[in-house]
Amino acid sequence: MSVELPNVIFVLGGPGAGKGTQCAKIVEKFQYVHLSAGDLLREERNTPGSAYGELIENHIRNGSIVPVEITCSLLANAMEKSDQNKFLIDGFPRNKDNLDGWQKEMGDKTNVQFVLFFNCSQETCMDRCLQRGAAGSGRSDDNEESLKKRFQTYVKDTMAIIEYYEALGLVRKIDASQSPDQVFEDVKKAFE
């Protein structure tokens, strides 16, 4: 009896590129389960008695990347709890260490279909995040200082992951500077 491996699409892009917005549309249209690495980390941080809560909060506030073992563990648990077999993993892997950890922990347990890359200028992303923060997102990292650090981390670390998967022919690049509906038109083409 063979067990079908869960299908995974990594969803990457800078802070404010629209990953969460587009993932919600993908869930509705294509019945994927959306797993946001950031949401899982924030949820764990806010769980009373969490062994990792303070560590996660320090990384989030500093715009740095949480140790891969913690993130992989949270993602694996969320996949195991689901009765679905198609997952969007949003905001992960964010650096080479994440990628190596994923391949070590999950590489033979999942099938990575492709990387959905939301490409957007830093200026547009910053504006979106600051508006989100002003609108009461409740995120401790939706402020200018944290955003600058998050962008430095994104450019320095995450772009290398996109380049790695691009070399494998697994990146589907989306112009995320458009309106959410225009972006989703391009997203639908990526799923054809």
Tell whether residue 20 is among the known ligand binding residues. Answer: yes
How far is residue 14's CA from residue 159's CA, in Å, rounded to a whole number?
9
Tell whether residue 128 is among the known ligand binding residues. Answer: no
Tell whether residue 140 is among the known ligand binding residues. Answer: no
Tell whether residue 91 is among the known ligand binding residues. Answer: yes
Tell whether residue 17 is among the known ligand binding residues. Answer: yes
Tell whether residue 107 is among the known ligand binding residues. Answer: no
Tell whether residue 178 is among the known ligand binding residues. Answer: yes
Written as one letter, the residue type at 109 is K
Tokens of 40: 């899982």
Tell whether residue 103 is among the known ligand binding residues. Answer: no
Tell whether residue 24 is among the known ligand binding residues. Answer: no
- Please report, to the nearest 10 degrees, the dihedral formed by the alpha carbons of residues 155, 161, 166, 167 taken in order: 120
Tell whether residue 38 is among the known ligand binding residues. Answer: no
Q: Annotated binding site: which residue ranges?
A: 16-21, 42, 64-66, 91-94, 98, 132, 139, 150, 178
Q: Annotated binding site for a ribonucleoside 5'-phosphate: which residue ranges?
A: 42, 64-66, 91-94, 139, 150
Q: Annotated binding site for CMP: which residue ranges?
A: 98
